[in-house]
Amino acid sequence: MMLTRLGAVLRKEMLDGIRDRRSLVSLLISALVGPLLVTFLFSRIAERQRSADEVSVPVVGMEHAPAFVDWLKQQSGVEVVAGPADAENAVRERNADLVVVIDKEFSEKFSRSIPAPVRMISDGTRDSARPKVRRVRALLQRYSAEIATLRLISHGVSPAVANPLKLDDIEVSSSQQRAATILGFIPMFIIMAAFVGGLQIATDSTAGERERASFEPLLLNPVPRVSLVVGKWLAASTFAVAAVLFSAVLCFFAIQRVPLHDMGARFRIGPPELLSILAVTIPMAFLASALQMTIATFARSYKEAQSYLGMLMLLPTLPGAMAPIYPLTNQPWLAPIPIMGQYSLVSDVLGGKMPPVYLFVVAAVATVATAMLLIAFTTRLFQRERIIFGR
């Protein structure tokens, strides 16, 4: 009998949610925002990296260092052009990404084996120019190293004398792990979808009912309070789960289309990884809906509930803000902590290190248990006259 009543409440809230365009719009936005940002941002980053492969280098004072200019022209993908008369102003006004200026004393000092002055003018605030600046700076350093080697040889000195250390960089992380650091905000997008997907129903079925004074006639029906609360919760959770599914699947296809190889990273994610991510994040949809319902129950109006829940939306962003300060990957003890555990496990999956199955179980049980505690608390709130009749 209780299941029948619960099903009736669930169907009623689901129909109201489907008819409410705001619910459908919030579901659509929560599912699309992550994949669209992933595709756009990384496509732009990859495009900037490719632009450094074919770089035009404006040079002022080419007549002072013809050998150096000829060396630049011989480098792959480098085009040397005449620089502007006012180099600093050209870069400041963004008419040029960078300008190389060769001083008049270059030839004299170069012939005397004295450091010859070369200036590279750039704007460090321009993200789009940074790959080109790095490429040109590397070319200048390479030319300097080659000339230094030739000078040592001409004096009968082995170039090894100038290199007292032989440094070998040994990278122990895989390409998948390095790519996962680039895609570290994907878990935040998926968890954010859990909070946005069911927000409309969770708010309307609690604060909205209270503002419309429809709590009283609703409670006159022979339906236990727990059935009312659980039915509303499951309706909001259904929309939240749908948002998580859509967001995760769309992120999966978006990653396949992102040209990570242009950024020097290789990344592989298949159906097993996608299923693991869903296993971690779907329980978060139930917790998010329960938390939203509990907070919205205290609100006297729909607008007041939105102001409270607006601050709640900061929760999914906290792990992403902490990640640069404190590493959240490969931290099994975080699994029982809602949101933090989901972020940590999804990051491990994206990094190619599949966590043990028991961590998925621990994270799911802890998250759902927290949601059930919140639902029990919300049920008690539905029994208070101040909540039902308060305006």
Specify whether 193 is located in the same domain as 322. yes
Mean pLDDT computed over every residue of the chain: 79
Quickly list DSSP for 11-54: HHHHHHHHH-HHHHHHHHHHHHHHHHHHHHHHHHHHHHHHHTTS
Instruction: Note whether residue 127 is domain-resident.
Output: yes
pLDDT in tens, 142-152: 888 888 888 88
Specify whether 152 is located in the same domain as 250. no
Instruction: Note whether residue 71 is domain-resident.
Output: yes
Specify whether 134 is located in the same domain as 232. no
Phi, psi at residue 121, to the nearest 5°? -100, 125
Specify whether 28 is located in the same domain as 158. no
The boundaries of the domain holding residue 304 are 2-45+175-389
Last residue of a domain, one of 162, 193, 209: 162
Q: What is the DSSP letter of 354?
A: P
Phi, psi at residue 119, to the nearest 5°? -110, 140
Tell which residue, 238, 253, 250, has the closest CA to residue 194.
Answer: 238
pLDDT at 287: 93
Residue 288 has pLDDT above 80, yes or no: yes
What is the CATH classification number for the domain harbouring 57? 3.40.1710.10
Last residue of a domain, one of 162, 190, 220: 162
| Helices 271-298 and 357-381: angle between axes, nearest 10 degrees | 20
Last residue of a domain, one of 128, 162, 196: 162
pLDDT in tens, 139-187: 888 888 888 888 888 877 777 777 777 777 776 666 666 656 666 677 8
Specify whether 194 is located in the same domain as 292. yes
Specify whether 230 is located in the same domain as 132. no
Could you give the count of Cα atoms lying within 13 Å of 387 in the half-sphere of its Cβ?
17
What would the mean pLDDT of 44-49 be, rounded to a whole number? 67
Specify whether 196 is located in the same domain as 300. yes
Specify whether 331 is located in the same domain as 267. yes
Residue 289: both structure tokens together: 């809906």
* β pairing state of 98-102 and 118-122: antiparallel
Cα 119 to Cα 133: distance, rounded to the nearest angstrom: 12
Specify whether 219 is located in the same domain as 354. yes
SS3 (DSSP) at 335: coil
Specify whether 133 is located in the same domain as 211. no
Number of domains in the chain: 2
Specify whether 275 is located in the same domain as 212. yes
8 A C-beta contact, residue 120 and residue 100? yes
In which band, very low, low, confident or very high, does the pLDDT at 362 lie, cut at 50, 70 and 90? very high
Specify whether 150 is located in the same domain as 204. no
pTM of the model: 0.69
8 A C-beta contact, residue 90 and residue 105? no
Instruction: Note whether residue 170 is domain-resident.
Output: no
Instruction: Note whether residue 168 is domain-resident.
Output: no
